[in-house]
Amino acid sequence: MKSIAVSAEGPSMDDPVDPRFGRAAGFLLVDPDTLATEYIDNGASQARAQGAGIQAAETLARAGVQVVLTGFVGPKAFAALSGAGIQVVQNLDGLTVRQAVEKFKNNAVTPSSAPNSPGGRN
């Protein structure tokens, strides 16, 4: 099974999905089989004047993530994630991390082929 990262407003499965990818509070790495989680703080990216999405993509690539579940991804972050071979699922804002992971496991989501945000502040 794949290793997933969900942009999250907090460290638990019941925290909301953070709609912003690059400037998300953090990422919850979830093993979809065991639902074991690990939280990565995204403060370093949040604080960046520019390149937040690229920094976040680098962090996830280094953590061996294969799929990202999130709300909005800007063009640069999208290019970075694609470059890292990471699949992106957008528009999952409004759900909790648990709901987003369930949706993904039930194949009820479509991986995105293009960014859905103009970027700049992502």
Q: How far is the CB of 76 from other proteins (least distance, A)?
A: 6
CB nearer to other proteins: pick between 76 and 98: 76
- Residues numbered 25-54 forming contacts with other proteins, rule: CB under 8 A: 48, 50-51, 54
Q: Which of 11, 66, 79, 109 binds other proteins (CB under 8 A)?
A: 79
Query: Taking the mean position of all CA atoms in its chain, how far away is CA 18?
Result: 8
How far is it, in rounded angstroms, from Cα 20 to Cα 107? 22
Q: Assess 66 for contact with other proteins (CB under 8 A).
A: no
CB of 31 to other proteins, least distance (A): 20
Distances (CA, A) of 80 to 68, 69, 84, 102, 108: 12, 15, 6, 26, 25
